[in-house]
Structure 1
Amino acid sequence: MGDGKQFAGDTARPDEAPAAEPGAGADGAGTAGLENAAELTLSAFCWWRSDLPREVCEDYWRDVHGIMFARVPGLWQLRQLRLGANRPDLWPEARGVSFEAPDAAQPQGLPHGLFRSEADLAAFADHPMARETIPEDAHNFLGRIGAQLSPPGGGRTLLDRSDAPAVQGPPHVPTFVLCFVPRAGAASTEEFHRYLAERVARPWSGRPSALRVRVEPLPPYARSAMGSPGVPHQWPNDQTYLGWIELAARDRGAVGELLASTATGELSELVRAVHTYPVREIHTLIRAGRPTEVGLRGYPAVRAITAAGADNQRDEDLLHHLFGDAVRGLDQLRRRP
């Protein structure tokens, strides 16, 4: 995974791929509202198979495994976050808090799925693709998985100033997933969730240098909410996460300032460890209940269509002929008697 010292925002390659899909949904100003329309969140921490190159696992995840989700009604949004190595150097010292993570314990991928309601989650889970095909396919690239459902209404996007509603590729600004391990006995699960939301994420969302802030409370980890035959569900060590925050800031200096503002005594009292993963790439497969172009076709096809300027390939009738009702996504569910 390299030395992990590059920021995600430093690696954007706009000549290689579109930063966002044309016609992918509401403009950037509406992203928080769209995401906050969802009641339930699924966060799945993924570790790739050690016997395959990382690139093979990531491409399979996006272009083979991922597009199957876009054929199943029920998901409101689905993004795949490709994670870099933990960055302990970004934090100032905080008494009693560890910012280090063993290499084997660091996840490489984080699928982030939103469901508008329990009914939508049930419709997704009951579909044969989600119930059988997707779990049975996961062993082709996954070495381990730990998936968790956030408490209803718990996950919130507090800020999104981005102008890319359906990001495809490296983010254009430094973006991180920060995962928090609680200190044993210091607070209840509910108190810890309130701390992350109100004392960490909300103050960040009020800073001009912050561009995106989303907080995801997680239940104590016991068993993966998503399984796959032959893929272990056990966490690699005892430092399981009780919540994570997605943070994007205008530049690397702003990231350091935001983290420094949180390294207080309260952090030391409640938090045992924080792991800070750069987001190397984001791929949006479903947005507002409908598959994106990448969700329908896979990333290489969308990159070729964009490079060729082949706007005819985005015609709604053509897409329906190619993919059937899958292009309508959640609308399939709404029209059922």
Structure 2
Amino acid sequence: MTAIRPFATKPFVSSILLWMRTDQPRQTGMDHWKGPHSKIISATPGFEEYRQIHLAEDNPGLWPATRGIETTIPADRRIDGVAEVTFRSVLSPLLGRKQTRLAFKDEVNVFRRTLLYAGPPSSARWYDVAGPGEKADARALVYLRRRDGVRTGEFRKHVNELARTLAGTGLLKELRTQVFMPWNEKLWDTPNVAHDNPADQRFHASLILGFTDPAARAAFFKGPEVESLSDTLASFTSAVHAYEVTDALTYVKDGKELPHYQR
């Protein structure tokens, strides 16, 4: 693979992992999140971008089996969607307290579990990998769990090297990475919704990989690039959960709430 140093911005981002209620049809919850709940979140001041990442219901794991790494996604912890929030500044979270309270109240109508993962400023990377006129029409969301004994700084270095390698393949039309701070329930301790997150189930980084189309995504996970990366991943990760993304809907872009979401 070609070694290059692609241009990357360093936004201030957090992600909320979401599980739909099971006492109603999954699609009912997904539609509520996409509609009424999105309007509450989109009105929050201080956002640079707000995007919903919708995940396929059948998601056993796209990453090929790799010795020493959990690549099969456990059914009881399988995520339904992720809210990706990009703030305009490190002070922006303080501006949205009113809307956040409204979001807290509405969560119980749609979700059974929510987990907030946040990173310190400048820990996320968005790589400029799409050429002029190119866009991602298929995506995968990959969560990484740090292997015991690997230090945080060392892990972050590995993730950044992994991202640069992925960017250098020329196969991606979108690449976003986040490295998380240690998970803390108090950052998103919403009422009447579960926040259970055992230490051995926590994640420490994520990557969003964008492709031209679903065929390109399927070819990537069956190709030599992933096989080569798997050997490297085994040295610093104990789990790699690669989800098929069915939709990525943007509701706030460039600091402005959109009249209708964009794909």
- Using the size of structure 2 for normalisation, the TM-score is 0.87
- How far did 1:211 drift? 1.4
What one-letter code is carried by the residue in structure 1 that aligns with 2:137?
A: H
- Rg comparison, structure with higher value: 1
1:260 aligns with 2:227: yes
What one-letter code is carried by the residue in structure 1 that aligns with 2:112?
A: G
* Residue number among 166, 179, 190 corresponding to 1:217 in the alignment: 179
1:191 paired residue number: 154
Q: What secondary structure is seen at the aligned counterpart in 1 of 2:43? A: coil
1:260-312 CA-to-partner distances (Å, cap 9, x unmatched) read 23111x322211111110111111110011011225xxx9xxxxxxxxxxxxx
Alignment of 1:70-219 (within 5 A): 70-84=42-56, 85-88=58-61, 90-91=63-64, 93-124=65-96, 126=97, 128-130=98-100, 132-161=101-130, 163=133, 172-173=137-138, 175-185=139-149, 187-198=150-161, 200-219=162-181
Alignment of 1:236-315 (within 5 A): 238-250=200-212, 251=216, 252-257=218-223, 258-264=225-231, 266-294=232-260
- Structure 2 distance, partners of 1:160, 1:45, is 25
From the superposition, tell whether residues 156 and 37 of structure 1 become closer, same or farther in structure 2 (CA, over 3 Å). closer
* Residue number among 27, 34, 38 corresponding to 1:55 in the alignment: 27
Q: What secondary structure is seen at the aligned counterpart in 2 of 1:201? A: helix
1:96-118 CA-to-partner distances (Å, cap 9, x unmatched) read 11111211101101000001212
Bigger proportion of residues as strand: 2
- How far did 1:224 drift? 5.5
Q: Please say if residues 134 and 173 of structure 2, whose CA atoms lie closer than 8 Å, have aligned partners that are also in contact.
A: no
What one-letter code is carried by the residue in structure 2 that aligns with 1:196?
A: V
- Structure 1 distance, partners of 2:249, 2:170, is 26
Q: Please say if residues 140 and 242 of structure 2, whose CA atoms lie closer than 8 Å, have aligned partners that are also in contact.
A: yes
From the superposition, tell whether residues 96 and 53 of structure 1 become closer, same or farther in structure 2 (CA, over 3 Å). same
Q: Please say if residues 249 and 255 of structure 1, whose CA atoms lie closer than 8 Å, have aligned partners that are also in contact.
A: no
- Structure 2 distance, partners of 1:90, 1:225, is 30
Q: Please say if residues 105 and 237 of structure 1, whose CA atoms lie closer than 8 Å, have aligned partners that are also in contact.
A: no
From the superposition, tell whether residues 142 and 207 of structure 1 become closer, same or farther in structure 2 (CA, over 3 Å). same
Q: Which runs of 4+ in 1 moved over 6 A?
A: none
Q: Give aligned pairs, total.
A: 250
Bigger proportion of residues as helix: 1
1:26 paired residue number: none
What one-letter code is carried by the residue in structure 2 that aligns with 1:129?
A: Q
Q: Percent identity?
A: 22
Unmatched runs of 5 consecutive residues or more in structure 2: 1-6
Q: Please say if residues 104 and 236 of structure 1, whose CA atoms lie closer than 8 Å, have aligned partners that are also in contact.
A: no
1:114-169 CA-to-partner distances (Å, cap 9, x unmatched) read 01212222212x3x222x2111111000000111211211111113417488xxxx
Q: What secondary structure is seen at the aligned counterpart in 1 of 2:184? A: coil
What is the RMSD computed on CA atoms of the aligned residues? 2.3
Q: Please say if residues 217 and 242 of structure 1, whose CA atoms lie closer than 8 Å, have aligned partners that are also in contact.
A: yes
- How far did 1:238 drift? 2.5
- Structure 2 distance, partners of 1:119, 1:148, is 17
- How far did 1:72 drift? 2.0
- Using the size of structure 1 for normalisation, the TM-score is 0.69
- Structure 1 distance, partners of 2:198, 2:37, is 23
- How far did 1:215 drift? 0.8
What one-letter code is carried by the residue in structure 2 that aligns with 1:97?
A: I
- Structure 1 distance, partners of 2:60, 2:113, is 22
